[in-house]
């Protein structure tokens, strides 16, 4: 019997010829990552046990992303803890204010590459599966252990296979495929499982959209999300890789606990209504819902490809007078590229507020918090009660084209309502 890409990556990092679902293994990591919210807890754990050095300063990434620029004294103190630790231990991959969100920064800079085993003290660490890495979120205590030893205990996850055949309709993106998936299986449908995506529709997606799909695997309870590498992956990685990488593929006779096949040509842009990412409806059934805010950004959909799509919708148009639109590029490089391409001009002229890179409103942190009774349509990944502000506010999740169109209309809208074609 063959093995999945996930099993192969874990086996190699565990020093084993093969591993099987359900086994507990100790695996060597290629990178340990934490941010300004989770790293201070890991640092305090190391201090508590008198551990005064890290296993490898070149295999740790610390990113100030969630509450930056600091919104208050507490967040400033959190950032200082991380900054001081990074300086003391000469952490190679330290990213300060404005550099970007970790899940955009690490693939963008070639710090994570195919075949890596990455653990991060952030649930959306699963993002890196979009380029063929095994990556998963862990708690701050586990992250401290990984920073000290260079290893992590893992239970080998069962794998699920999701095949999307057919061609995507206009305005349909990777965001819609993952929302559709979560809508079909539920928020616990992939609990502690590796979600493997393939098929003609998946292969047609660029790397940005594959990262979006892997990013939201956790919203189905997944241990990880992964797309096996192909020529598009290699083209993306070759320009960026800071180290050697290894390509893994699932065997044709691999075993999956569950498999699904869907016709992508039957899927239209999707919207996840409150208060679960699985509460998914087609945009055609959502156009009666008025909004107060539109947010374009986050580690899910804040890359340059996303901003190009949004700018194509907003060019020459105005944000609805009773709606505010916030645009936050997911990294400094994305911000700079958007400036060079004139996208920032388009956003500002349309009436958007554009911010330096931060997680900000996605987690209800700052830079766009919702008041009681307000609604936001967002390109981010979660819409639980209070996720973006007041517990009685509402967050709707959609792709960048739908969010931009909604900003113009002042209600959830199909992109076709505001333009005939997007220029990218």
Q: What is the DSSP string of 39-55?
A: HHHHHHHHHHTT----S
Residue 410 burial (10 A CB sphere; 0-12, 13-18, 19+): middle
Q: Whole-structure pTM over 0.85, yes or no? A: yes
pLDDT tens by residue, 65-109: 999 999 999 999 999 999 999 999 999 999 999 999 999 999 999
Q: pLDDT tens digits, residue range 330-382?
A: 999 999 999 999 999 999 999 999 999 999 899 888 999 999 999 999 999 99
Domains and CATH numbers, the chain: 5-262 (3.30.499.10), 276-417 (3.30.499.10)
Mean pLDDT of the chain: 97
Query: In 3D, which of 398, 413, 389 has the Cα closest to residue 323?
Result: 413
Q: CA-CA distance, 65 to 238, in Å (whole number)? A: 26
What local confidence, expressed as pLDDT, does residue 129 receive?
A: 98
Residue 72 gets the label, from left (phi > 0), alpha (psi -120 to 50) or beta, of beta
**Helix/strand/coil for 129:** helix
pLDDT digits (tens, 9 = 90+) for 267-324: 999 999 999 999 999 999 999 999 999 999 999 999 999 999 999 999 999 999 999 9
Q: Is a pLDDT exceeding 80 seen at residue 56?
A: yes
| pLDDT of 421 over the 90 cut | no
Q: How confident is the model at residue 419 (pLDDT cuts 50, 70, 90)?
A: confident
Can you tell me the distance from the alpha carbon of 248 to that of 9, in angstroms, rounded to the nearest whole number? Answer: 7
Work out the percent of the chain whose per-residue pLDDT is above 90.
Answer: 97
Contacts 24+ apart (CB under 8 A), 146-151: 146/29, 146/32, 146/119, 147/32, 147/42, 147/46, 147/54, 147/55, 147/60, 148/46, 148/51, 148/54, 148/55, 149/55, 150/28, 150/29, 150/32, 150/55, 150/56, 150/59, 151/26, 151/27, 151/28, 151/29
Q: Residue 363 in 3-state DSSP? A: helix
Closest CA to 322 of 363, 352, 292, 361: 292
Mean predicted confidence (pLDDT) in 215-233: 98
């Amino acid at each position: 019997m063959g093995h999945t890409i996930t099993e192969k990556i874990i086996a190699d990092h565990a020093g084993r010829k093969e591993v099987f679902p359900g086994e507990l293994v100790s695996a060597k990591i290629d990178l340990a990552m934490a941010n300004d919210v989770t790293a201070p807890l890991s640092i305090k754990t190391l201090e508590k046990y008198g551990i005064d050095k890290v296993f490898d300063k070149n295999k740790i990434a610390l990113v100030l992303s969630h509450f930056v620029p600091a919104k208050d004294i507490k967040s400033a103190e959190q950032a200082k803890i991380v900054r001081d630790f990074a300086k003391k231990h000469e952490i190679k991959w330290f990213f300060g204010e404005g550099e970007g969100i970790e899940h955009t920064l690490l693939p963008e800079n070639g710090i994570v590459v195919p075949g890596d085993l990455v653990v991060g003290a952030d649930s959306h660490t699963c993002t890196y599966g979009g380029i063929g890495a095994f990556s998963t979120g862990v708690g701050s205590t586990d992250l401290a252990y990984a920073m000290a030893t260079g290893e992590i205990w893992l239970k080998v996850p069962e794998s699920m296979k999701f095949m999307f055949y057919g061609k995507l309709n206009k305005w349909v993106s990777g965001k819609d495929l993952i929302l559709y998936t979560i809508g079909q299986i539920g928020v616990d449908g992939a609990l502690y499982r590796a979600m493997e995506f393939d098929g003609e529709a998946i292969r047609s997606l660029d790397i940005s959209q594959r990262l979006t799909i892997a990013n939201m695997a956790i919203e189905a309870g997944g241990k990880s999300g992964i797309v096996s590498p192909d020529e598009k992956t290699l083209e993306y990685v070759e320009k960026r890789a800071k180290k050697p990488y290894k390509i893994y593929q699932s065997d044709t006779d691999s075993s999956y606990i569950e498999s699904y096949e869907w016709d992508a040509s039957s899927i239209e842009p999707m919207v996840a209504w409150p208060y679960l990412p699985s509460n998914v409806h087609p945009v055609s059934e959502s156009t009666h819902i008025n909004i107060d805010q539109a947010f374009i950004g986050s580690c899910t959909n804040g890359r340059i490809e996303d901003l190009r799509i949004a700018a194509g919708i907003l060019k020459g148009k105005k944000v609805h007078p009773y709606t505010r639109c916030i645009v936050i590029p997911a990294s400094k490089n994305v911000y700079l590229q958007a400036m060079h391409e004139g996208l920032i001009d388009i956003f500002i002229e349309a009436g958007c507020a554009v911010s330096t890179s931060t997680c900000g409103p996605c987690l209800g942190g700052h830079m766009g918090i919702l008041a009681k009774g307000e609604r936001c349509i967002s390109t981010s990944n979660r819409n639980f009660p209070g996720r973006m502000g007041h517990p009685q506010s509402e967050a709707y999740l959609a792709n960048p084209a739908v969010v931009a169109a909604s900003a113009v209309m002042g209600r959830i809208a199909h992109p076709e309502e505001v333009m005939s074609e997007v220029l990218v």
